[in-house]
Structure 1
């Protein structure tokens, strides 16, 4: 760390090394818990500053902090960021030679490093255990802690060995655990498996106010056109496009490449070297867009991702929340768009059917399959809901909501109401005729009078209900069935092959109940008077931010945007010189703050959010000169 009088309080650490004046929600409580010697479990959304919650106390605790992390890219990114901030840190993983590992451990034993990132598998090696037993370790931090639970979406058996390692260490080090995605079951699992002692469990909430959620119902070709148009109308914005299969990744990549998009791709079918190059191209801003399977992204700390588009529906809300959450880590507005088609459900079922259950007994496998099926149903529910998308996500993770957010695609959409009471009775009749033996696709196909051979095979073409709702669309009936499931009139079983059964229909049969289904109106522009202005239609540099009068709004906004681009180019040049990702030099949010404050000297530069002492020393003068030069020619 820097020479001179070291910072002695968490707030001084925050300002000196990280350049921030205050902590965010939950950070102070977690840091104080750790510094008091208690174990801690924090569930905080992506972008809420989890890493600071263990990095700050690590610099104040007497010994070393070990951070157990699941991915090499995550460790490398964090260590680069810490070193840029003037904090010496290291990582130990399979990307290093044994000689490099021994050298790093030797430096650590001499007190050179306060923070060491380590892969969970490394904890089991004799050499690392020997180092740990003879070196003061104050805290063991478990990052991406949901990986320890088999009920989590990224279960890693190697995480189960962490507590065995910790229990061998002298001095009872503090255990801190962090994750962005944990249901109540997973949260309890983390605390139990890590044997946390009297832990302070902090849940700051799952809401990411800067993210704008949107679902579009589109077919395959429509999805391609949507993505091409979106990228064309959002030039220079960094984004991730997730696809469910490698084939979709490759096909979409070729299409965008022919369109002239600055694009790369990432999936497990590519060699390690090519994947590494693709990832680096995206992180270092050499490629604007990356198209990837869910193998990409965990541990990617790129702060300026402005959009995440899902080409296919993910298999669970946990997966979606984590992947979509890679947008807008800097707190600036970002879009999370899910392109949904009914085929996505079938793709997800096929992928879940090939899931690896190694190490689980039959009972556990059955439990996981049922849970996977339930998660898939709830994910489909998100795609089908006409209610507030943000509220759907929050309620899934156990947060009570009271009003719509007015900041998602559904809240900015117009609807029409359909009276589908009679249709509902035909649905019940169809399920009854089928004796509850078939799934949603066959029920809908029967009601629409589909000519599919499968319906003839099961005798559905002779049912009384066959073709009775041929005037409806498949989308209409999916909306109706989804609503009837929520109302309890239909039960959808869990498991690999879910079927529809009749639920409690007494009210539907005996009372004057109406089933009103809200349906999206056909796509059309909604006038500004009917919705709040979408944050993505605003200029990032609004007059309200820089104190402009109404008459000078356009001029200042244009000038600030031009300065931002100038500083962005300087950042890119420095990043190339330093061989680090641009956002590690300064985030977009820091550049925007510079464009609003126009710092003229070092003291004023230190008042810019994200500028600490070390970065001021390394880069401050170059940015001050660029700002001064820009202002002199654009006064």
Structure 2
């Protein structure tokens, strides 16, 4: 079933590594023994190696089902640089290119073929699959097959149908970075894995620092972080196209080398902007979550979430695009209560999948709202952020990580505050309005509590309410934040009133109004004006020659330009750092550098 090479030779000769990472060897051994498998491994843990090494040892072809064009291009370019015959089949190819790739595959020119799930059931691909020996089908981003996953793609459900049309069933392996127990069970069921070897290597990415900030001015805070890491690449995620445009425009106006990415741009501009970022022509990418899935750029030093994502799965996947080279990187979320309302609107208005019935859509909507609640809890937790994330995925941590804002207090502007009495005031105001058969949105309620003499307050004679002005010493920002928190925790809810949304009490309101429940949230900490903001994270200690590192990067950049490839495909920063430490002087010594296999030694040695 396998050729003469052993797995260690393949690892060293093609990929330039002398030892396997956690979980890789067990998965590879299971696949080589002919067993289906499911691997749940964090971003940067080397999932692709788990199917690429067996693929090179099997005598047939391995088909890799992959969801995004960018992922395939990166993987195939990287494999070719490592001396592996590989190709991809997706919509980026012209008809002539596609037919040529199919023809080459039929003649046995490739060991690994990446294919979009939508292509599996096409006549030309089915004809190819039936005429060649397929040793393994590997499913990347396998959580896409689960309707309980955060990236459900109906096209993934065609995979079992495709397998059923083959002359025989190959080994099936599936891989993902983020999956709860529920999603793992769904992957096994939906892909019809047979007695699979399953492994979860742990979700922890120790090189990532996690931070949550509650800034008064999000843009100023984002600029502070970008400026701190201005010599490095970073991604800023925004929840809406409008925010992407605004933040990118401001950054460019402030002199930063930034670009943008969202679904509203033309295919051509999206492709150009993505390439500019991948090839290091721009330092900062401002994007919606449409950007990044499968982007294998290894030198992203920070990921800023300008808005809170809808769930922990999406957040951890997007944040995980930082530090893929194993170096320290920062993942910082800028939170505001408005993010909760925006996400609720998106959840309640985005489920229009024609492949799902109404009951399933409603179930998914309720599940998404529960996940949003967990995401909101993460942003307001008093404890270790890493502990919170790992706990969400069912993994326990022995002690606080000391590498997050929860442990280090790096942002220093938040503290746990008892807001029980103020919450009672907010709910009482809504109740008093209800007694008059009136209802308003958060803005008017904040005006009443603050004691404003706005036009609406005068028109509806709201100054005669007993709750008018009872929070006159509080800021509008604080009152609106309390309202957002109460809504996020279902003590109040938004309902439609004509063309407007208004706030009403829920059953849970009684817990605060009647049972006097204690409510605490994290709020900006009041500090002396002279006190400065603590720096993000820990001081990074460099143990290699920075000047030599810079010269090596310049050489790599020249080679990348000549080959029309991203620099990290030639060699990663981690490989260059290893060179600076080991200082190889011969071709043989170069093979001892992490990430340098025989093909790269021959190309660049």
TM-score bucket of the superposed structures, by smaller chain: 0.7 to 0.9
Q: Which residue is 1:327 aligned to?
A: 322
- Structure 1 residue 274 corresponds to structure 2 residue 298: no
Q: Which residue is 1:550 aligned to?
A: none
Q: Deviations over 1:159-193 (max 9, x none)?
A: 11111001211222111111112222222221111
- Structure 1 residue 372 corresponds to structure 2 residue 357: no
Change (3 A) 1:517 1:312: closer
Aligned-partner SS, 2:318: helix
Contact 2:3 2:59 in 1 (8 A): no
Q: What is the CA distance between 1:315 and its match in structure 2? A: 1.9
Q: What is the CA distance between 1:113 and its match in structure 2? A: 1.1
Q: Deviations over 1:303-337 (max 9, x none)?
A: 00001112222222222111111111111111111
Q: Which residue is 1:9 aligned to?
A: 6
Q: Deviations over 1:202-256 (max 9, x none)?
A: 112221111111122234xx22222333323323201111122222222222222
Q: What is the CA distance between 1:381 and its match in structure 2? A: 2.2
Could you tell me which of 120, 123, 129 is aligned with 2:120?
Answer: 123
| TM-score, length basis structure 1 | 0.84
- Structure 1 residue 501 corresponds to structure 2 residue 506: yes
Contact 2:213 2:332 in 1 (8 A): yes
Q: Deviations over 1:415-462 (max 9, x none)?
A: 655444544554665676678999988877765556677889999866
Q: Which residue is 1:401 aligned to?
A: 397
Deviates more, 1:55-64 or 1:336-345: 336-345
Task: Measure, in 2, the Cα distance between the counterparts of 1:151 and 1:457.
Answer: 48
Q: Which residue is 2:597 aligned to?
A: 612
Deviates more, 1:324-333 or 1:466-475: 466-475
Q: Which residue is 2:157 aligned to?
A: 160
Task: Measure, in 2, the Cα distance between the counterparts of 1:373 and 1:442.
Answer: 26
For the aligned residue pairs, the C-alpha RMSD in angstroms reads: 3.4
Q: Deviations over 1:464-488 (max 9, x none)?
A: 44543444456766887899999x9
Within-5 A mapping of 1:106-145 = 106-145=103-142
Change (3 A) 1:507 1:330: same
Q: Which residue is 2:85 aligned to?
A: 88
- Structure 1 residue 412 corresponds to structure 2 residue 408: yes
Long gaps (5+) in structure 1: 543-556, 621-635
Task: Measure, in 1, the Cα distance between the counterparts of 2:282 and 2:328.
Answer: 21
- Structure 1 residue 561 corresponds to structure 2 residue 563: no
Aligned-partner SS, 1:358: coil
Change (3 A) 1:517 1:162: closer
Q: What is the CA distance between 1:383 and its match in structure 2? A: 2.1
Contact 1:263 1:288 in 2 (8 A): yes
Q: Which residue is 1:546 aligned to?
A: none
Q: Which residue is 2:259 aligned to?
A: 264
Deviates more, 1:414-423 or 1:359-368: 414-423
Q: Which residue is 2:583 aligned to?
A: 598
Deviates more, 1:303-312 or 1:254-263: 254-263
Deviates more, 1:229-238 or 1:440-449: 440-449
Contact 2:423 2:512 in 1 (8 A): no
Aligned-partner SS, 1:239: strand
Could you tell me which of 273, 276, 291 is aligned with 2:286?
Answer: 291
Could you tell me which of 201, 205, 228 is aligned with 1:204?
Answer: 201
Task: Measure, in 2, the Cα distance between the counterparts of 1:18 and 1:407.
Answer: 31
Contact 2:144 2:153 in 1 (8 A): yes
Q: Which residue is 2:343 aligned to?
A: 348
- Structure 1 residue 577 corresponds to structure 2 residue 579: no
Aligned-partner SS, 2:161: helix
Contact 2:3 2:57 in 1 (8 A): no
Deviates more, 1:346-355 or 1:607-616: 346-355
Task: Measure, in 2, the Cα distance between the counterparts of 1:584 and 1:99.
Answer: 27
Change (3 A) 1:208 1:458: farther
Change (3 A) 1:229 1:481: closer
- Structure 1 residue 468 corresponds to structure 2 residue 478: no
Task: Measure, in 1, the Cα distance between the counterparts of 2:381 and 2:258.
Answer: 32
Q: What is the CA distance between 1:402 and its match in structure 2? A: 4.2
Could you tell me which of 33, 57, 81 is aligned with 1:36?
Answer: 33
Change (3 A) 1:338 1:113: same
Q: Which residue is 1:236 aligned to?
A: 231
| TM-score, length basis structure 2 | 0.88
Deviates more, 1:429-438 or 1:326-335: 429-438
Could you tell me which of 174, 177, 184 is aligned with 1:177?
Answer: 174
Q: What is the CA distance between 1:23 and its match in structure 2? A: 1.1
Change (3 A) 1:516 1:289: closer
Q: Which residue is 2:525 aligned to?
A: 521
Aligned-partner SS, 1:124: coil
Change (3 A) 1:500 1:178: farther
Task: Measure, in 1, the Cα distance between the counterparts of 2:182 and 2:441.
Answer: 28
Q: Which residue is 2:218 aligned to?
A: 223
Contact 2:35 2:171 in 1 (8 A): yes
Aligned-partner SS, 1:410: helix
Contact 1:370 1:494 in 2 (8 A): no
Contact 1:64 1:115 in 2 (8 A): yes
Task: Measure, in 2, the Cα distance between the counterparts of 1:602 and 1:47.
Answer: 28
Q: Deviations over 1:536-571 (max 9, x none)?
A: 5223x23xxxxxxxxxxxxxx6xx011111111111
Q: Which residue is 2:49 aligned to?
A: 52
Within-5 A mapping of 1:422-571 = 422-423=421-422, 425-426=424-425, 429=428, 448=450, 464-473=466-475, 501-503=506-508, 519-522=523-526, 537-539=539-541, 541-542=542-543, 560-571=545-556
